[in-house]
A and B are shown apart, each in its own frame.
Chain A
Amino acid sequence: MRPSSERQPERSDRPEPSEAVVTRTIERRQLHPERAGAAGDDGRIARRRPRRPPGLPWILPALALSVGVIYYGIGYTGYISTLNWDGISPDPPHVGAGNYTRILHDPVFWDAVRHTAEFFVVTFVVQTVLGLVFAVLLHTRLKLAVIYKVIIFMPVVLAPAIMAPVFRHMFAPDGELNSVLRHVGLGALAQPWIGQTSTALPVIMAITVWEWTGVTFVLYYAAMTQLEQSVLEAAKMDGAGNIRTLVSIIWPEMRGTTVALAILGAIGALKTFDVPYLVTIGGPNYATEFLGTYIYRMTIPLDHVGYGAALSIILLVAALIISIAVQLGGRERKARD
């Protein structure tokens, strides 16, 4: 704690600074001559520090919320991850890093990691291409553009819980997709889409692309309104066609949006739960198991709360690493350019 003379310098009844304090102040001035001006030359400690409005009261509510809820929650999850706990027992045994060691030897965990990576790559690439193309097309003088925008964005506002039964029905062996295939003479392609390991994950990816392309489109559409018209016109004057303009002018200008979408997509992939849980319950045979569904499976139906907490911590660390890596990657490219 600082001496009262430092905390309340403006009070008129303050005591005179002691000799020791003055000595320390002089020493600091010698060490940091650039800061000496702030304290003035008269040796008065009161003027040594610039006056700033007190910030703590303003950030206190947010700080309390963050520390009290989020960071406490993370810390508590970290603690639970060292227990062999069913979520109810009052005195669970400590297992140290035992849960983490088991996770490293758990084939379902590695399947979930692989599914997450494949899911991110495919959904991000497809959504980016579709979102960019839709945004470019709707920046042209297209008739009924408002209706197209609504159609593209509509899936974003539809709850997965509502759409899941529809998709279960659509991709069932006697569902609408197979029915359409049979009617157009492609009956040989009809198959139990969510009932076999080879097609279940692609179906989950397709549903996710359908659901989230609207967000990608909106962000690219908004970013394109910031493009300098003069640059586009200059490209046109230089003889660049539509595709060349898209690839060489528009796409590089969208880098910030793409990086943001990549971060969101990566975190979204790590957190994926609703669609695979509601449509395939992580199956068949773990073919659509993601970290989110596996955490739920271990924590709730199987009562391995400690193991589930360890999986959650791994997910958190992975999300942080990926976010930082993508962010740094984007900055480095920007700096190089």
Chain B
Amino acid sequence: MRLRLLPRSAFRPLIVLVAAAAAATCLAACGSNGPSGGGSATSGTINWWGWTPTDTATAQNYISAFNKQYPNIKVNYKLVNISDWVAALRPALLSGRGPDVFDMQPGAYVTQFKSFTEDLTPLAQQALGKDWKSKVAPIGISGLTSDGKLTAMSVGSTFAGMLWINEEIFKKYNLSPPTTLAEWEHVCQVLKQNQKGCFVQGAAQEGFDQDTLQSIANSVQPGLWTKASTGDAKWNDPGIVKTLSIWKELFTSGIMQSGAVGYQQYPDANNDFLTGKYAMVMMGTWYTQYATSKAMTAALSAAGVSGAKPFPILPIAFPDVAGAGNTSEMYGDSDFGLAVSTKSKSRAAAETFVKWMTTTTVGQQVVADQLNDLPALPSVQPNFDSIQLVDPTSQTTPVQDLIAKAAKVTEPREALLSTDVQNAILAAATSVATGKASPQDAADTLQKAAEAAGETFK
């Protein structure tokens, strides 16, 4: 059968009609939307995927506060374990059925997922003005920007480079926080004699090994770790070799718990510290939230302890393990930014949520009061009048000092490291810890791996 086509002129009214309808639709849709369009900016459903907040209660807290202002935007939070993050996110984004908003960690993940994110520079300008960069913590911009594209807006930052101690245990055994390697060994000996765990670390996870190694390196030679990360020093620099030697000493001197290289920081080390089995743990500012009664109680419950009484935790400086007189400085990155997927069908609503969380005083105040992150807007501070610490007498000053100190930190934590280098650092750390390689050999292997991964060195 042959179709009889109408003459072209007969289509003209139809074309005009379709064009008019399309224009009207665009005007209706774009008129009330943000800069990018894609649905309504004040209603709809958006799916937010993240590995943090690590408990859904915190995320729901953020969402509840958001819904007071935007009741018609429903936000579904899906918590994905950090170890499954790439495996879950990549196919979801590729399929187009993934999240509208997702967490973005500075560093390797930015490289991996930048092609799936909207450039949020216009959103930042719209919310904070043309000088938006001056209103946001710089650490939250650099790590989330790649090739001039702002892949995500920072929610807040986290910092590491100190230890947390169980104050009750230290008081019970009349111990002072250690400031040197020898003092640290002494504390662990006393606790061991009393059948108590001393320091617990999930040495099977690269991120937390890096924290301890970076702290040791800062004690050996401040700034060396960052120099190696940027290629200004080699990973087999004598300072890094000494760092690995001290790392090894943590295992041989009994500071590190038995079987540490088979431990995960989460959940193993975290649960062991929160259940009072160990007195010390290497965690960053994100642990400040457990200084509060509410978060500590929830964490104890999650760790499997029913009816446990919250105990006060205190941040202490990382000991001067090299004995060189260097105070081990802290380091940090944006904890996470919120990215908007290019494939989102509710892009305008997603942008509303991201804008509220990252650029409004109300949203940032909720973030600050959670004590999980230091807010991205430096003008916002935690309101300690409304935050209930477990033991305000002992905790208020150290916690406030920690937040004040962290706000001045400029040294990056993981933002400069690729996944290959992080993997090589883990291999170096575990091979030294298990005695499979000497610190020098492990450092040489690490340097070779970094070069093979395409890193360039001066």
Contacts and interface: CB of A to CB of B under 8 A. Distances in A.
Interface string B422-447: 01000100110110100000000000
Contacts of B87: 300-301
A194 B112 contact: no
A283 B261 contact: yes
A196 B419 contact: no
Nearest to A280: B262
B94 interface: yes
B260 interface: yes
B257 interface: yes
B420 interface: yes
Given A194-B262, A195-B259, A284-B261, A174 B430 contact: no
Interface string B352-395: 00000000000000000000000000000000000000000000
A173 B269 CA distance: 12
Nearest to A203: B262
Contact of A195 (B263, B277, B423): B263
A39 interface: no
A150 interface: no
Interface string A284-306: 11110000000000001111000
B267 to A, nearest CB: 9
Interface in A182-213: 191-197, 200
A302 B262 contact: no
Task: Please report whether the interface of chain B is mostly helix, strand, loop or mixed according to DSSP.
Answer: helix
Contacts of A196: 259, 261-262, 434
B419 A173 contact: no
Contacts, number: 71
B342 to A, nearest CB: 13
Contacts of B83: 281, 301
B23 to A, nearest CB: 33
A246 interface: no
Contacts of B262: 192, 194-196, 200, 280, 283-284
Contacts of B261: 195-196, 283-285
A1 to B, nearest CB: 30
Contacts of A302: 419-420, 423
Contacts of A197: 434, 436
B25 interface: no
Interface in A158-194: 172-174, 191-194
A173 B430 contact: no
Interface in A77-132: 86-88
A135 B103 CA distance: 54
A173 B436 contact: no
Contact of A303 (B112, B258, B264, B434): B112
B258 to A, nearest CB: 5
A203 to B, nearest CB: 10
13 contacts: A172-B268, A191-B258, A192-B258, A195-B260, A280-B262, A283-B262, A284-B262, A285-B431, A285-B434, A300-B86, A300-B87, A300-B90, A301-B86
Closest 10 CB pairs of A and B: A192-B259, A195-B259, A195-B262, A284-B261, A285-B430, A194-B262, A173-B259, A300-B87, A285-B434, A173-B258
Given A172-B259, A280-B262, A285-B431, 17 more contacts: A88-B90, A173-B257, A174-B277, A195-B260, A195-B263, A196-B261, A196-B434, A283-B430, A284-B262, A284-B433, A285-B436, A300-B87, A301-B423, A302-B419, A302-B423, A303-B112, A303-B419
